[in-house]
Amino acid sequence: MKILVLNAGSSSLKYSLYIGADSHLALHGNIDNLTEDPQEEPDKKTHEDALLEVEAKLKAAGLASHLGDCDAIGHRVVQGGEAFHEATIIDDEVIGTLEDLSQLAPLHNPINLIPIYHITERYPNMTQVAVFDTSYHLTMPDYAFRYAIPNDLYHEHHIRRYGFHGTSHLHIAKKLADTLEMDLEEVCLISMHLGNGASACAIEYGESIDTSMGFTPLEGLIMGTRSGNCDPAIPLYLIRELGYSADEADFLLNHESGLKGLCGISDMKNLVEAVEQVDHEAEVALDMYTYRVNQVVGSYLAVMDEVDALVFTGGVGEHSALVRERILEGFSTRFGIEIDYAENNDADGLTCITTENSEIAAWVIPTDEELEIAQQVLHKLIPDIID
């Protein structure tokens, strides 16, 4: 079986082709510098152009003569609301629901829908499956996902904490369970997906019980350009007192804040280099970043009865030894975490970075959201194949 996974972002299209019951990766790539508005940016490709390029690459590699040669296409969809608890085969009704859900994720779902529209039009008989960032977090209890705002805003307008990066956190839980030779339903961990976007997830017996992102991916940890948690009155102040429009306040918090807002550097690798050159603003930004992770993860440790491991993943979590070191050193000594500095500095792939005496183990586990999507598609179509 050939499963093509598509992950459409605002300016990029990632694609991966998996073959067989073992989900062997046959082709992977990323087409970037795309535009949503070709009239405004005529020199850039559209997502439709990118899909034709993916088709050409499949053909050139001898893997398919066109997209319709694939057995199924799995799509990353950011927001599934409370409607979708698992991977879902796409039909007209599902597309309609995804369009309705775009009001909850206006920056993401409309983009995720573009490849779905394209393939539906060109290959109407193609099996397409939506895999949602949010579905893994629908196991959160109501006291974790509700906001303390009037009830009708939840019941009528669906304002609640949804959480994101669900495919990554689930993939990490499965990998840790395999590594520790446990069933997924037995494993308890705190997953830290640290990249340009960042979130933490408390996973108890294989299920998400809390996560740092909320109604949108803006809530929670400090990120590359997103503020993370801040006083809700700040955007109101920007609008009332400083003359910002709602769109301008939204743009500032999502695109001009976070590490970029603090020191002008959004990329962690460049920020670490600035810290090594004794850049004070970069040092403050890194201190704030790691402190926020300590706060959030520490709050999960306070409510979880068991924790088999803390896990670092994502571009920063997997590749920045300094960030991992700062975070682990930032936890209270009462947690009994002992870093193996040699393992941490040399970590390349799946690695335990704490000593045998550490009361809580810490691991680096590479994430693979596209593989997780492919496996969920495969399981949806052939339920017993990966059980």
Question: CA angle 117-122-124, nearest 5°?
Answer: 80
DSSP letter for each residue of 151-181: HHHHHTT--S-----HHHHHHHHHHHHHHTT
Q: Confirm whether 133 is a catalytic residue.
A: yes
Question: CA angle 10-14-15, nearest 5°?
Answer: 145
- Answer whether 0.85 is exceeded by the pTM: yes
331 phi, psi to nearest 5 deg: -75, 150
Pairing of strands 189-194, 198-204: antiparallel
- C-alpha dist (Å) from residue 190 to 49, 126, 210, 235: 40, 38, 10, 31
Instruction: Identify which of 261, 282, 262 has the alpha carbon closest to the alpha carbon of residue 273.
Output: 282
The first and second tokens of residue 147, run together, are 């906001």
In a structure prediction context, what are the per-residue pLDDT tens digits for the chain, which is 387 residues long? 999 999 999 889 999 999 998 899 999 999 999 998 888 888 999 999 999 999 999 999 999 999 999 999 999 999 999 999 999 999 999 999 999 999 998 889 999 999 999 999 999 999 999 999 999 999 999 999 999 999 999 999 999 999 999 999 999 999 999 999 999 999 999 999 999 999 999 999 999 999 999 999 999 999 999 999 999 999 999 999 999 999 999 999 999 999 999 999 999 999 999 999 999 999 999 999 999 999 999 999 999 999 999 999 999 999 999 999 999 999 999 999 999 999 999 999 999 999 999 999 999 999 999 999 999 999 999 986 555
The first and second tokens of residue 353, run together, are 């970075």
The first and second tokens of residue 98, run together, are 């995804």
The first and second tokens of residue 342, run together, are 């040699």
| Span 265-291, pLDDT tens digits | 999 999 999 999 999 999 999 999 999
Q: Whole-angstrom Cα distance, residue 173 to residue 254?
A: 28
The first and second tokens of residue 210, run together, are 């809390």
Which position among 22, 71, 133, 231 bears the catalytic label?
Answer: 133
Contact between 300 and 190 under an 8 Å Cβ cutoff? The reply is yes
At 242 the pLDDT is: 98
The first and second tokens of residue 257, run together, are 């804040």
Sorted by where each starts, the structural domains of the chain and their CATH numbers stand as 2-132 (3.30.420.40), 183-364 (3.30.420.40)
Q: Whole-angstrom Cα distance, residue 6 to residue 31?
A: 11
Q: Whole-angstrom Cα distance, residue 387 to residue 384?
A: 5
Contact between 387 and 88 under an 8 Å Cβ cutoff? The reply is no
